[in-house]
Amino acid sequence: MSTTIPLNLHQCQCQLCQQGETHPEQGFHQQINLFMSRLDEQQRRWDAALEAKRRGHGGMKLISQITGLDVNTIRRGRQELGENLQNRPIGRVRVPGGGRKAVEKKPRITRKTSEGGN
């Protein structure tokens, strides 16, 4: 089994991983980040919230260090799970109207159109 880590994978920032020596949790931290790299934004939030809850006291801070997600993002995931995902859309990542507004396309002005001619 290869232990090569994809280059774009988040590197754990927990205290144990930053010491530079291998430790039993290091492989698990890499697997968490590999798994999360395949999820969309809301799924990452929910998975981080569940993992933080499983870890107990200090879990949100630790999972934040492992995954690079902000503590407030994990807290939001916990809140959404606590509400049984009732306000979350099914089959889409963002609620309708979420995200950036569409940019208005401006007509392109060329020399021909500005001269009003042929």
Beta carbons within 10 angstroms of residue 66's beta carbon: 26
Mean pLDDT of 65-80: 95
In this prediction, residue 115 carries a pLDDT of: 62
pLDDT tier for residue 2 given thresholds of 50, 70 and 90: low
Q: Higher confidence at residue 97 or residue 9? A: 9
In this prediction, residue 25 carries a pLDDT of: 87
In this prediction, residue 44 carries a pLDDT of: 94
Work out the mean pLDDT of the chain and round it to a whole number.
Answer: 83
Q: Higher confidence at residue 35 or residue 16? A: 35
DSSP class per residue in 2-30: --PPPTTSPPP-SHHHHTSS--TTHHHHH
Least confident of 4-13, 19-28, 46-55, 65-74: 4-13
Q: How far is CA 83 from CA 75, 88, 102, in A?
A: 13, 10, 31
Q: Where are the domains of the chain?
A: 10-87
Asked if pLDDT for residue 114 goes beyond 70, the answer is no
Which pTM was predicted?
0.70
